[in-house]
Amino acid sequence: MSRGRADRRTLRRASAAALSALTLLGLATAPSAAAPAAAAEPHLQSRYVTMPDGVRLAVDVYLPPGTEPGAKLPTVLVTQRYWRARVQPGKPGGTNGTAELWNARGYAYVAADLRGTGASFGTLTSELGADAIADSGSLSDWIAAQPWSNGRVGTTGISYGGDTAMLATALGNHHIAAAAPLSYDFDPYEDLVRPGGLLIEPRLAPYALLLRILDQAGGTTCDTDEATRQVCEHTGLIGLTPRPVDGPDGPALLTAARAEHANNANLVEMAHTGVHRDYQDGPKSWTVGSVGEKTDAIEDGGVPVLTRAGWLDAGTSNGVLSQFTGLSNTQDDWIGPWNHGSGWFADPFQPARPLTEAEHDQLDQRTFAFFDRYVRDGARPDGRRQVHYYTFNEGVWRTTTRWPVPGTHTRRLYLGQGNTLDGRRSEEEGLRSGSDLLRLDPTAGTGEFDRWNTNLNGGKVSYPDRAAVDAKLLGYTTAPLTEDTRVTGNGKVTLDVTGLAGSAEGALHVYLEDVAPDGRVTYLTEGQLAVADRAVSDRGDNPDWRRLRTPRTYAAADAEPLPQGRAQRVVIDLQPVSVLFRAGDRIRLSVAAANPDSFQLLPADGQASYRIGYGGGRASALELPVVG
C-alpha cells in the first residue's frame, strides 16, 4: 500500500469517528438538501469573435476537461494561416493534440483562423499584414474578458503562426505576457523569400498552389487537376474543410466566409513583383511583416520571448541572432540541429532522422516552463538574455549571454593561385595575383532537401556528399588543419569580381564546406547575392537588428547592374553556423553563379561568366568567426 493511500484511509476513519461522537452527543445536524453542482465549462467551443472593424474570426476554445465556472486560467493563443482545424464535412472535428498538451498543464488554448482564411470572414489584404496582426490584440482583449481567464495570454505558433505570435508583441497589448515564436521568419524578405535579393523561385510554385487551394482562389480545389491533387495529398487536405463554428448555421457560415477569401493578397505574386525590399503596393510590403521594422515597439512592450530555430532552416537562425542583438527584451533563444518546425534532426555530419519522442518532449517542456513563469504565474521579465546553440560535428550545446560569443576572433583566409585558401594575401607573402574564370552552371544545385525547401514544407534537411557538385564549381581549399577549429557565428566572403558576358544582372552563391581526409565534402552554410544589390551602406545607417549583416538596403534606388570588364568588390554574408573543423580536415569555399534547385536563374537564360580575382590590393577572402 502506498503512503498516500494509507494517509487517506486514516483520514476517513478519523472523520467517521468524529461524526459518531457528534451523533451520540445529539449535536449532529440534520442533512440538508445538496446544492446542485454547477455544470463544467465545455471542453471545446467553436465560435465567432467579432473584431473592432466588424470582421468575424473563427475561434476554437479548448478548456481543460472539468473546468469549473469562474476558474482563472492562463491562455495560449495561436493564429493560423493554414486553418485552425481540418474536418470532414458533416462529421465532428477531431482533437487538437497541441491543445490537449496545454490543457493537461491547466491552460486554456485558443486557436483562431486569421482573417481571410479558414472559417474566418474577411479578406487578407497582405500576408502578415497590419490588420491581421492587430487581430491578435483584439483576441487577447476578448480572452482576458472571459470568466475563465486570468487576464494573461501567451502567443505562440510554428512558422507562419510563429511570425504572427512575434509580431503581436509589437502591439503594446498589456494582456500579452509572453511569446514563443518557433521556426519563425524575423525578416521575410532577407531570411526567406529573397535572401541576398534572390527569389527562391523553384520552391514557391507548390506553396503558391497550396495558398490557392486553401483560399479557393479562382475556384481552385484539391480536385482541380493533378497538380492540386498532389499538393493536397502531400499536405493531408484531401476531403477536408476548415472546421465550421458550432450550431446549425455553422456550415452555411463557413461557405459565406470562404467566399470572401478568393481575393486574398497573393504572396507569390508579391514575391515576383517585389524585387526590392522597399517595395510597396497599398497595404502590401516586405516591411509590414518584418520584426526588424518593429523593434522599438517590441522593446517598449517588454514582452519576454522564447524562440528556437534550426541552423539549416532557411534563414531563421539569422533571424534569431538578429532578434538577440537587436532587441533588449528578456529572451531565451535556441538554435539547434533541426529542420523547419523541429521535427527532424539536421546535423550535416549525421544522417537525417525524425526527432524521438523524448526529444520532442524536451522541446515542449522548455516552452511550458517559460509560459508557466510569465503567463501562469505572472512573473515580471527579469532582463535575462541568453542563446543556447548546438555545434555541428561536435554535438555539444553551449549557452552565451553575448553574441558574437566571447573569445571570437576573425580569421581571414585568402583565395589564391591553384585554388588555394590560406592566410597569405600579397606577393610579398608568396601569394601571386591572378583570377579564375567562373561560368554559370545551371545543373549545380544544393539538392532536393536543402535549407530553402524545408521552410515551405517542413521536410527533412539532407545534403549529400558535395564532391561531385564541387567539381562543377570554383573552389578554394586550405591545407589540412593542424588543430581542431571551432567556427561560430556569421562569416563573410569578399570577392574581387569582374563581370563578363551576361553578368550585369547576375548572381553569386558561396558555400562553406568541410573536406574530410577521405575526400567527402560536407555542406555547412552558404550565402548568395544578386550582384545588382552589391552596394554597401554606411555602417552607421545599419539598424541594430542588422548589426551582424553587411550594411545593405536592397532598395531599388541602390540597385545597379554589374559593369562589364571592370573589377568590383562584392561582399556576401554567410548564414550563421556553429561547426567544429577537426584537425586533418580542410576548409573549402566554393563559388557558383547559380543554385537551380532553390533560386531563380540570373540571367534567366543561364548564360553568364565572371572572373574572380585573388591576391593584390583587392584580395578575395573568406572571413570566419573562430572561437578560442
Domain with CATH 3.40.50.1820 in the chain: 44-197+275-400
Q: Mean per-residue pLDDT for 33-39? A: 59
Q: Mean per-residue pLDDT for 129-157? A: 97
Give the CA-trace dihedral at 83, 86, 89, 94, to 10 degrees: -140
pLDDT of 614 above 60: yes
Residue 93 pLDDT class (50, 70, 90 cuts): confident
- Interhelix angle 201-215/226-235, rounded to 10 degrees, is 90
**Cα gap 610→447, rounded to integer Å:** 24
pTM of the model: 0.92
First to last CA, the chain: 57
Amino acid making up residue 334: W
Reported in sequence order, the residue ranges of 428-482 that DSSP labels E, i.e. its strands, are: 434-439, 474-477
pLDDT of 495 above 80: yes
pLDDT of 402 above 90: yes
Amino acid making up residue 381: P
pLDDT in tens, 200-240: 999 998 999 999 999 999 999 999 999 999 999 999 999 99
pLDDT of 430 above 70: no
**Cα gap 169→152, rounded to integer Å:** 13
Helices (H), 97-236: 97-104, 130-144, 160-167, 188, 201-215, 226-235
429 neighbors 484 (Cβ within 8 angstroms): no
pLDDT in tens, 60-84: 999 999 999 999 999 999 999 999 9
150 neighbors 72 (Cβ within 8 angstroms): yes
266 neighbors 208 (Cβ within 8 angstroms): yes
Give the CB-side neighbour count of residue 205, counting CA atoms within 13 A.
9
Bridge partner list, 178: 154
Q: Mean per-residue pLDDT for 511-540? A: 97
Out of 7-16, 358-367, 439-448, 506-515, least confident range = 7-16
**Cα gap 313→146, rounded to integer Å:** 38
67 neighbors 40 (Cβ within 8 angstroms): yes
Question: Of all residues in the chain, what percent carry a pLDDT higher than 70?
Answer: 93
pLDDT in tens, 345-366: 999 999 999 999 999 999 999 9
DSSP assignment string, 581-614: EPTT-EEEEEEES--TTTS--SSTT---EEEEEE
Of 476, 431, 437, which Cα lies nearest the Cα of 615?
Answer: 431
Q: How confident is the model at residue 346, as a pLDDT?
A: 98
Residue 440 pLDDT class (50, 70, 90 cuts): very high
- CA 218 and chain centroid, separation: 29
**Mean residue pLDDT across the chain:** 92
- CA 355 and chain centroid, separation: 18
**Cα gap 99→73, rounded to integer Å:** 14
Which one is predicted more confidently, 26 or 106? Answer: 106
pLDDT of 5 above 80: no
Instruction: Tell me how far CA of residue 225 lies from CA of 159, 220, 221, in angstroms.
Output: 28, 9, 8
Beta-carbon contacts of 505 under 8 Å, excluding residues fewer than 6 positions away, are 530, 531, 532, 561, 562, 602, 603
pLDDT of 322 above 90: yes
**Cα gap 253→251, rounded to integer Å:** 5
Q: How confident is the model at residue 432, as a pLDDT?
A: 82
Q: Mean per-residue pLDDT for 109-138? A: 97
Q: Mean per-residue pLDDT for 528-547? A: 96
The CATH class given to the 408-627 domain equals: mainly beta
148 neighbors 108 (Cβ within 8 angstroms): yes
Q: How confident is the model at residue 429, as a pLDDT?
A: 64
pLDDT in tens, 7-32: 323 323 333 333 233 222 222 333 34
SS3 548: coil
pLDDT in tens, 552-570: 999 999 999 999 999 999 9
pLDDT in tens, 574-596: 999 999 999 999 999 999 999 99
CATH architecture of 44-197+275-400: 3-Layer(aba) Sandwich (3.40)
Of 431, 443, 421, which Cα lies nearest the Cα of 581?
Answer: 421
Q: How confident is the model at residue 27, as a pLDDT?
A: 29
pLDDT of 414 above 60: yes
589-613: b or e for each residue (b if 16 or more CB lie within 10 Å)?
bbbbbbbbbbbbbbbeeeebbbbbb
Instruction: Tell me how far CA of residue 39 lies from CA of 42, 43, 70, 494, 571, in angstroms.
Output: 9, 12, 11, 69, 66
477 neighbors 420 (Cβ within 8 angstroms): yes
DSSP assignment string, 128-161: T-HHHHHHHHHHHHHHHTSTTEEEEEEEEEETHH
Q: How confident is the model at residue 278, as a pLDDT?
A: 97
**Residues 621, 624, 628, CA angle at the centre, nearest 5°?**
140
**Cα gap 543→537, rounded to integer Å:** 11
Beta-carbon contacts of 348 under 8 Å, excluding residues fewer than 6 positions away, are 312, 392, 463, 522, 523, 524
Q: Mean per-residue pLDDT for 241-251? A: 96
Question: Of all residues in the chain, what percent carry a pLDDT higher than 90?
Answer: 89
Residue 91 pLDDT class (50, 70, 90 cuts): confident
pLDDT of 241 above 50: yes
Q: How confident is the model at residue 425, as a pLDDT?
A: 75
Instruction: Tell me how far CA of residue 2 lies from CA of 15, 16, 485, in angstroms.
Output: 20, 22, 55
Amino acid making up residue 97: G
Helices (H), 280-406: 295-301, 316-326, 357-371
Domain with CATH 2.60.120.260 in the chain: 408-627
Residue 190 pLDDT class (50, 70, 90 cuts): very high
SS3 427: helix
